Every structure is written in C-alpha cells, then in structure tokens.
Structure 1
Amino acid sequence: MNKRRSFLFLFLIFQNTPMVSFLPIFQKMSCFSCCGVEVQHRTGGLGGNSNNNGKSLRSLVNNLSSKAGANKQKIAEEIQKVGKVKVSAHIFTFRELVVATDNFNPDCLIGEGGFGRVYKGYIENLDQIVAVKRLDQNGTQGSREFFSEVLMLSLVNHQNLVNLIGYCADGDQRILVYEYMANGSLEHHLLDLPPGKEPLDWNTRMKVAEGAAKGLEYLHDFADPPIIYRDFKASNILLDENFNPKLSDFGLAKLGPTEGKDHVSTRVMGTYGYCAPEYAMTGQLTTKSDVYSFGVVFLELISGRRAIDLERPAEEQNLVLWAEPLLKDRQKFTKIIDPLLEENYPVKGLYQALAIAAMCLQEDANSRPLIGDVVTAVEFLARPKVDGQVTAESQRDSSFHVKSVKERSSKRDRDL
C-alpha cells in the first residue's frame, strides 16, 4: 500500500501562523512518506492497465457521441465491453419515466441546469424515489455529455458519488435516472438560503467539505485511468437526508492523462469563477484543476459567499480576489467567515480551514496540494470535538505557540 500523506496533517494541526508565512513552506512540499500517514484503502480501483483503459474509454466516448442516434441497446452493449462496469444500471423506456414523473409535471421539478431539468419521480417496480434528469434538446449540453455521464457513472462506485440508477435513450430522448437526494444541492442550503431557513452550522460545513473531497480523491487516485471532474461547484454537490454529500453531474468529466503525460488538452468548459487559471488560459487540464475548484467551494463554505456575485460591490464580486488580501493578515481572517454563523465556530478551526483553502487556490498548479492531502486535513477539521475542546478552540487568544516542523521530501509514489 502506498504511503503518500504528507506532513500537511501535522502541519495544519500545530501551525497557526498567517497564510503569508506558511504558503512558501507548503510550496516546497510534495509527498513526505517518512512522516506521512498511510492511506486507508477507502475503496478499490477499477483495475486493469491505465494506458489501455484510457485508450478504450476515450474511443468509446468518441464513438458513441459521434452517433447522435445511438440506441439504448448499442449504448449498453458498448459500455459492457469496458473493464469493470456496473451491470445494475436499468435501461428505462421513455414511457416508464413519463409515468414516474407524472408526465414531467412542473410540480415535480426539483432542479434545472445546462443539461436540462431534473424531476422527482417514483419507479414503481423498483419501489424507489428517484431524480430524473432530462436532456434539453435545445440546451448547451448534448449527446456527448450524456454518453460521457452514463459511461463515467457506470465505471465508478463510491459513497460520495451519486449513484446512477439507469438511463433512457429511446429515439432522441436522453434521460438519466439517479438516486434521490432529499436535501438537494449545497447551493440551496448555502448560497440560495431562503428567508427564515437555518444556515448550515460549522460542523456540517466541514462534513460536506470532507465528503466532497473524498469523492474527488476517489476519481483522482483510485479510478483507473484517473478522472478529472472539471465541474466541481456548490450546485453539483448533492446532500442526502443526513447532509452527507455526493458529487453529481459528470457530463463534463474527462479521463485524466496517461502514457506519461501530465495534462489533458481540451476546450475550456465548466463554470466561471470555479475554473483554475491555467486551465482557463491554456485548456491544459490536470487533477490540480479540480483542487483549485475545491478551494473555491471550500471558501464558499467558510464565507457563505458565491464564487461570482454580481450583486455585491465591484471589489467583492469575485470571491477569490476579494479574499486574497484578507488571507495575508491573520487579524482579518474573521472578516471572511459567514456572518450567519454568528461566531459559532472554532477560531483555530477557521484558521486551519482558511489555510487549506489558500493552499488549494495557489495560482501555480504545482504548488497546490494533492487531493489526498486535502482529505487528510479536512478529515481533522470534520472530526467531532467534545464540548471542552470546541470551547478551548473558540477562545480568541492572540498568542499562539508555533510548533516548527522539519521539512523532508521524498519522491511521490503514484502506484496505488
């Protein structure tokens, strides 16, 4: 088993210096196996040779998406040829989904995006409530994204990734059927909070961040070949009845680089405000692009602000640009926190959370942490604390004792 946790875990626990002081230290860090924590094998990889898998999967996506009229039998047959796929995905008829959603009744509408509209439905023969996402034939995303999502979700299986129940490809209909997530999207509870609705507390926010990071970790480090999510944002993080998060909407996901390459070149897609700067400028996509997007969402969780909010004053419309100078002065850290939390948060935890966000938002992609290191750090923040510990952390004592950590380096081992 590969040991690839850096000393980021210990660093974040003990370090309390301003961001401007510890960012240069982090920039020199890669993987410190000598003082790392062994990765827990949370879930198995897809198996097989990543180079061969990458070629065959890309070929499959290209072949299917180039045939707009590909029928449901063709899709199923081709997907079953690829590696370890889920055989449990149902192939629904259009009529079945019309019945399930009461003819796509507007009263059943629970969401809408670039792909199309999402309806709450009930599949009688499965005795299951589901979310039914129907492709808008006049929308911005088309058959390629549909095939990509069916393929990606047929290949992955993780508790922090939404489960694909099945799909429909009758005629020109393109419909995806997911497990139903009772609490909707993170955006609804964080950025579109209705008047009178209780805001997410600090512990729930850290729990969401932890689960979302673990979803990315699975895609980056356990999928074979690795998968770059490419559209990590609050509206794509769904929450179940216990506020456990799952990543959804894999229409823009890309297979990661293989054959020794360090990036995938592709047209720039995603959502403004969440895209990593190097990807937006060059179209060169890496797993570090997802890490940047995680940093943006993590900052949204901390601040309660949108990545882009045109209703705010000009200097506050871009969340990252607004927060950047505040992250360089510890005396201003509390200006970033969501006022709806009303100081019900651990101050030390806030500092550590801002450290993680700042590291993920480094302009230089190589200076950002691996998502596995992010998981380790956020796991600590999300760990339940006893009352005494929370109270102690919440005390606003300006005198912090900084523990020095000796830097060590070792070659990064990617043989998971």
Structure 2
Amino acid sequence: MELKHESFAVSTSKSRLKVIATSASCGAFILLILVAVLAYRYHQFHKEKNDIFVDVAGEDDRKITFGQLRRFSWRELQLATDNFSESNIIGQGGCGKVYKGILSDNMKVAVKRLADYYSPGGEAAFQREVQLISVAFHKNLLKLVGFCTTSSERILVYPYMQNLSVAYRLREKTDVFGYGITLLELVTGQRAIDLSRLEEEEEVLLLDHIKKLLRENRLDDIVDGNLKTYDRKEVETIVQVALLCTNSSPEGRPKMEEVVKMLRGIGLAERWAKWEQLEDAMNQDLAVLMSQQYIWAEDSSIDQEAIQLSRAR
C-alpha cells in the first residue's frame, strides 16, 4: 500500500509540473502576442501621424556613375524640405524650383526639383547636368552633393549657400572658361572631348567642332537633336557667349557680371564683332603657316630625292 501511495504522489507531482509548464508556456505566448499587437498599434499610430511623408514605390534604379554622388530617397528629401514647403523656396526658374533643406545629419542643402521632366529633352538635360557637375572639381565651383530619381521626379541636391549664388562662385577666369564649356555641352549634348568625332572629321575638341560649324553657317547642326523645339535666336546668343567665355586668351574672357548681361543681350553684339575679327585674323595666320609648312615639306622631299639620285650615281 505504501508503494502505491508513493507512486501516486510522484505521478501527481509530475502532473502538476506539466500543468505549471504548460500554463507558463501559454502565458509567455499570450504575452508575446500582446507585445506584438501593442508594437503594431504604436507603429500604425506614428505612421498615420506622418503619413504625408511616404516612400515612392518603384524608384528609378538608373545608375549614374560619374563622380562620387549620394543617391537620396524621395522620403529623405521630403523630410529635409518639410514636404517641399513653399516657405522653403529659395529660387525659381524655367527649369524648376529650388528649396532649402536640412538633412538628418543637420547638413544644409539646396534641393533643385526639376520641372517639365516629361518635356522633350528633359531626361537628357537631367543626365547631362548630373554627369557634368559630378566630375567638376574646383575650389570655386558649386559641387553636386547627390540626386534623387523616381518614376515621376528628377531632383538635384547642392550645398546650401547663405545669401550667395552660383554667379558669386564663378569669378576667376578659369571658372569663366569652364562655364563656357558647360554651356556648349548643354546646347549640343556632346562631350568637350570626344575621340569618336575622328571618324567623320578632324576636330576632337567640341570647341573646334562648333567653330567649324559656325564658319559654315550650320547653327542648327550645333543644337542637341533631343531638343525638338527651341528659339534659334536664344541658341545663337548662348553659343556666342560660350565662345567668348572660352577665349584662348584669359585677358579676353568676360567677367561673370558681363556674362549675365550678355545673356540678356546687353553688349553682346559689340563684343562678338570683335571676337569674329580676331578669329578671322587667327585663321588667316594659321592658313599662311600651314601653307609655309606644306611648301617646306615639298622642298624637303625634292631635296631628299636629289640626294638619293646623287647617291645612286
């Protein structure tokens, strides 16, 4: 009887342990579910509170490999500019609006939101601007921090400059030359140096290529083919200003203040007339020099033939 009683006691003790273990497991499971529900409710509450800042689905993954650029998400720039608030606009033009923004690391930036992305040449213009500015390294040039692309947005991010503009940074003659080259690249959609042009002509430099087309009165051939519609007079003005900026003599290049005026048509005609005179004189001198070299080469070949004949005797 005692053995049976002891066996019953052990069995009862094991049953109690099983019940306790099962209850503890169920309790822990219920507690985990409760914590998960609370966490989900908390997340949903804050998501609804900030539902204006959302990620854009299907961001464009086109890779731009020019320079070291940071790729921003749409949400980052929404937060930085307070959802592109009108109160943060610091600039506006035909290409879009520029907003002041503060990134999560407290860096102040100028966010350029391009307009008319779907217009002819809009994507090409964005690609060129990123490619050109991302590889431009100069102490006085405005550096591109990064960019953002979505299915419907193209955005560029620059350092924020308190009470300053790009014109302020472009003061030195070297910057004026670079500005002229950039204008030519934007108008033509071509690179400043392109070896592929050797297949059709001698000019590798974009500058020489454009001068050649101008001499042949082929202004329309200068313009980027992606620009279906454009004002011919405006293109002519831009090209003339760009060529004045890329004068081979630094002393002959205009100041940025003068460039701004010439783009508005002030003082451009007089300066362009002088440039054409100097260019014609340089071309004439070059033609004379080339003809002299040709005559010298002919004389040299004749002398060489005479020497060979005399040796043969």
Structure-2-length-normalised TM-score = 0.49
- Name the structure with the higher helix share: 2
Which is greater in Rg?
Answer: 2
Question: Using CA pairs below 8 Å that are at least 6 residues apart, which structure has the higher relative contact order?
Answer: 1
